[in-house]
Amino acid sequence: MIRSPLMTVMTDAVMKASRSLKRDFGEVENLQVSRKGPGDFVSAADKKAESILRDALEKARPGYGFVMEESGIVEGTDTSHRWHIDPLDGTTNFLHGLPHFAISVGLERDGQMVAGIIYDPAKDELFIAEKGKGAFLNNRRIRVAARSAMEDAVVGCGLPHIGKGDHALFLREAASVMAHAGGSRRWGAAALDLAYVACGRLDIFWERGLNSWDIAAGMVILREAGGFYSDADGGSDPIAKGTIACGNETLHRELLKLLKKAKA
């Protein structure tokens, strides 16, 4: 696979930040047993990774704007382009020494997501896609799974937790989906959940209460892998609604029906 100049810029930035995250992940294990716990250390690791990404992307593409999980929105002089950056998706996993977290960077051009990269440092898995050029995992082309029966499907979801989300709605949705699905998983890193649907490890995924940096890159990767997505109520703009439902064409449609049932 030939990497475009844009994808080279994105990959270099992500790899640089991942070296810092990886080093810090090695420390987190030791901190589990300390009285203070690893909270402050992880939040510093998160900020460090974000600043590495920002510096690298700013240098390579001066003027582009930023939407960042840690530092918020930075308007650029080039109003057509914005990076959506999650320097550490799966923070709770990272904090608990669970090796399932990622860096996610999406590029928006004139209101449309056109490039995405998600890197899982613990497994050395790099998911990338650019509009019209296909989706890849470590240079190998990926596609969504072809399964069409809900009873064969493995479903990913996000779980609300203390202080976040509509717990009652989630429980109704989970009951509705679980009654038909072959199996359910909650991995704890939304960017990777989307990447996993894109490469057929998960058949469908839904979550509410997300931000643009969680899903911007995954949306491009999914679309380029032949996947379908909408917001969790079937609307066309997951970022505006902060919710997503996805899968192949058939299972995405089935998932929306089950989620709708749970709302009625």
Q: In the complex, which residues of this chain contact ligand IPD (CB under 6 A)? A: 69, 86, 88-92, 158, 188-190, 207, 209-210, 214
Q: Which residue is nearest to Ca ion (CB)?
A: 89
Please report how close the Cβ of residue 161 comes to ligand IPD at its closest, in angstroms. 8
Bridge partners of residue 118, in order along the sequence: 104, 127
Sequence letter at residue 44: A
Please report how close the Cβ of residue 126 comes to Ca ion at its closest, in angstroms. 18
Q: How many CB atoms lie within 10 A of CB 126?
A: 21
CA distance 204 to 238: 15
* Among Ca ion, ligand IPD, none, partner that 244 touches (CB below 5 to 8 angstroms by kind): none
CA distance 217 to 118: 7
> In this complex, which beta carbon is closest to ligand IPD, that of residue 189 or of residue 246?
189
CA distance 80 to 52: 23
> In this complex, which beta carbon is closest to ligand IPD, that of residue 147 or of residue 238?
238
Please report how close the Cβ of residue 129 comes to ligand IPD at its closest, in angstroms. 19
> In this complex, which beta carbon is closest to ligand IPD, that of residue 92 or of residue 138?
92
Which residues of the shown chain bind Ca ion in the complex (CB under 5 A)? 86, 89, 214
Task: Burial-class residue 76 by CB neighbours within 10 Å (0-12, 13-18, 19+).
Answer: middle
Task: Burial-class residue 217 by CB neighbours within 10 Å (0-12, 13-18, 19+).
Answer: buried
* Among ligand IPD, Ca ion, none, partner that 156 touches (CB below 5 to 8 angstroms by kind): none
> In this complex, which beta carbon is closest to ligand IPD, that of residue 65 or of residue 209?
209
**DSSP assigned state of 182:** S
Q: Write the CB contacts of 60 (distance below 8 Å, at least 6 apart in sequence).
A: 9, 12, 13
* Among Ca ion, ligand IPD, none, partner that 209 touches (CB below 5 to 8 angstroms by kind): ligand IPD
> In this complex, which beta carbon is closest to Ca ion, that of residue 108 or of residue 214?
214
> In this complex, which beta carbon is closest to ligand IPD, that of residue 158 or of residue 247?
158
Please report how close the Cβ of residue 259 comes to Ca ion at its closest, in angstroms. 21
Q: Report CA torsion sign: 122, 123, 124, 128.
A: negative
Please report how close the Cβ of residue 86 comes to ligand IPD at its closest, in angstroms. 5
Chain length of the chain: 264
